[in-house]
Structure 1
Amino acid sequence: MTIERFIQLWTHRYHKYTHIFKAHIKGRQARTHFSSVKRSLKKGQELIAIIRTEHFGDIVAAEPISRYVREQHPNAHIVWFAKPAFAELVAHNPNVDEVFREFCVTERRVLLEGNVFDKVIELQFRNNNHCPKCQVFTENPVALKRDITVHNYFDYGNLLEVFAQTGDLIPPKSAFPADDQPRLYLQPAHKEKVDRLNLPEKYIVLHCRSNYEPKDWPADRWNRLVHWLSEEYDYQLVEIGLESNLTIQTPAYRNLCGQLSILETAEVIRRASFFIGLDSGPSHLGNATGTFGIILMGALNNFLNYNPYSGKYGRQENALLVRQAGLPCSQLSFEFVRDQVKAVLEKSADNAPKVLS
């Protein structure tokens, strides 16, 4: 073994075991905290944990569960577990009393081993219960019993229905029994931030790049779509997301990628005339804010025809799912997508094409 390899190995081990030690300490501190919370509750008042830590689209999709659990347990102290990056999505939810900003899966395991909570509602299965630094997985026994995995979960319904089943809230392969429209709880600060962007009254929001390449549509086709929209319609075109891979030369286009928080992004989407994007987190923001969505989708892994959405997007009352049987999103032609977008935009008199002089 070379000295360089020796240093790399022990540097890795140092970071790994430091992380694990920190996770155990934080887990015990959390156990102490929630033990104190439980002692402060009134007699008969339950302490309930809801665990959906990632990704942000999944947390938005699962929001109706917070209302459903509150209806079932009106007096409970409800704690939602989320990774710190996504905590803002539940921090203002009136059905949640407290947000636990989870450090890692090991911290959660140490916390739950104390049996502090009266009820634990696990909205995840194995692939979401993994810490790459600790190199451990935890299992959800309900998901194991019902055989819900990352390879088959869309066989059980939309995301909301899948999560409710993994949480043992509804029977296997059944519909969600309450209001299934996701909601967001935007605050004045989010609106004030977007006010300062000086967006036009009439614009379309675009989300062109997901965090999972098989869901994406090629950048060159997005470029063509943006230029076509700018030439044919009187809209500003505003791209949101973490990072853009487009090369746009039209003044009608504005790039806001990487400049906004999740809920600030939601406020930008809420004000838009339309949302055009992928099956990714921002499309769930579109569903929750009520903006009409044009969602580019396709076959995904072994799911040839799936629908992740509940509510109005799921019923296609406020959305069009753009796809062709058996094709992945990457194989949707520009012409097919353009014609689908055109059909939506021209349904309203306000969206007629530009009158060219």
Structure 2
Amino acid sequence: MTLKRFLQLWTHRYHKYSHIFKAHLAGYISWLHFAIIKFRLKKGQELIAIIRTEHFGDIVAAEPISRLVRSNNPNAYIVWFVKPAYHQLIDRNPHIDETHQEFCVTERQTLLRTGIFDKVFALQFRNNNHCPKCQIFTENPTAQRLGINVFTYFNFGNLLEVFCKTGGLIAPSESFPGEDHPRLYLSDQDRSKVDGLNLAKPFLVVHCQSNYAPKDWPQDRWEYLIEWLIGHYDYDIVEIGLKSNLSLQNSAYKNLCGQLTILETAEVIRRASYFIGLDSGPSHLANAAGTFGIILMGSLNDFKSYNPYSGRFGRRENAVFVRQEGHPCADMSFEFVRDEVAKVLNK
């Protein structure tokens, strides 16, 4: 072994094991925090954990579960586990008493093994229970028993129903037992930030890149579509997302990628006349915000056709799915998508 390789190996081990140590320490510190909380609860008042840590579209889709758990446990102290990047989606939810910003899967394992929580509703399965630094996965026994995994989950319903079933909240054959439209909890600060963007003219929001390449539509076709929209309709076009891969120079096009928080993005979408985008996190924001969605979808892995949405998008009351069943999103031609979009806008 060369000196360089030796140093690389031990540097990797140092970072890995120091991370694991911090995770265990964080777990016991969290246990102490919740032990104090539990000590202060009234007799018979339960401490409940809901675990849905990622991704932000999934957390938005799972929001009705907060209302279901609160309805079933009106006096409980309810804690939602989430990755720090997404805490804002939970912080102002009036049905949740506390947001727990999870350090990593190992911290959660350490905390849950103490038995401090009276009930735990784990809304995710193995694919969402991975820490790359600790190099571990944690299983969800309920999901394992039902056969819910990354290859099968859409066989069990939309995302909300899948999460309920992995959490043991409903039976495998049941639908969500309540109001299933997701909600957002926006603040005056979110609205004030968007006021400052001066989006006065009626506009369409577009979202052109997901976090999973098989869901995407090619860059050049997005550019053709946006140029066509600007040329044929009296709307400005506002792009949102983490980053843009488009090369557009047009006064009617505004790129806000990477400039907004999740909830500020939701407020932009709420003000838009239409949302045109992919099956991705922002489309769940559009569903919750009540903005009509034109969603470009294709087959996904083993799912030739699927519907991830609950609420008004899920019932097609406020959305149109643009797809050719059995084909990935990238197979759809510009002409096909243009014509489907025109059917909506021409109404």
TM band (smaller chain):
over 0.9
Q: Counterpart of 2:117?
A: 117
What CA deviation, in whole Å up to 9, does each residue of 1:208-254 have, x standing for no partner?
00010000000000000000000001111000000000011221100
Matches within 5 A, 1:175-254: 175-254=175-254
Matches within 5 A, 1:1-357: 1-347=1-347
Contact 1:50–1:120 (CA<8 Å) still a contact in 2? yes
Contact 1:200–1:236 (CA<8 Å) still a contact in 2? no
RMSD (CA atoms) = 0.6
Q: Please give the alpha-carbon distance, in whole angstroms, between the structure 1 residues aligned to 2:99 and 2:337.
A: 40
Q: Please give the alpha-carbon distance, in whole angstroms, between the structure 1 residues aligned to 2:196 and 2:182.
A: 27
Gapped regions of structure 2 (runs ≥ 5) = none
Q: Please give the alpha-carbon distance, in whole angstroms, between the structure 1 residues aligned to 2:342 and 2:249.
A: 22
Q: Please give the alpha-carbon distance, in whole angstroms, between the structure 2 residues aligned to 1:131 and 1:240.
A: 28
Deviation at 1:173?
3.2
Q: Please give the alpha-carbon distance, in whole angstroms, between the structure 1 residues aligned to 2:9 and 2:275.
A: 47
Contact 2:130–2:136 (CA<8 Å) still a contact in 1? yes
Identity value in percent: 67
Deviation at 1:7?
1.1
What CA deviation, in whole Å up to 9, does each residue of 1:250-279 have, x standing for no partner?
211000000000000000000000000000
What CA deviation, in whole Å up to 9, does each residue of 1:60-106 have, x standing for no partner?
00000000000000010000000000010010000000000001000
Contact 2:121–2:167 (CA<8 Å) still a contact in 1? yes
Counterpart code for 2:96: V
Counterpart code for 1:108: R
SS at match of 1:306: coil
What CA deviation, in whole Å up to 9, does each residue of 1:169-191 have, x standing for no partner?
00003210110000000000000
TM-score after normalising by structure 2: 0.99
Q: Which 4+ runs in 1 deviate beyond 4 A?
A: none
Q: Please give the alpha-carbon distance, in whole angstroms, between the structure 2 residues aligned to 1:326 and 1:173.
A: 25
Contact 1:165–1:173 (CA<8 Å) still a contact in 2? no
Q: Please give the alpha-carbon distance, in whole angstroms, between the structure 2 residues aligned to 1:252 and 1:168.
A: 48
Contact 2:201–2:235 (CA<8 Å) still a contact in 1? no
Counterpart code for 1:260: L
Q: Counterpart of 1:351?
A: none
Gapped regions of structure 1 (runs ≥ 5) = 348-357
Q: Please give the alpha-carbon distance, in whole angstroms, between the structure 1 residues aligned to 2:280 and 2:124.
A: 18
Q: Please give the alpha-carbon distance, in whole angstroms, between the structure 2 residues aligned to 1:268 and 1:176.
A: 29
SS at match of 1:249: coil
Counterpart code for 2:166: T
What CA deviation, in whole Å up to 9, does each residue of 1:193-215 have, x standing for no partner?
00011112400000000010000
Q: Please give the alpha-carbon distance, in whole angstroms, between the structure 1 residues aligned to 2:200 and 2:14.
A: 52
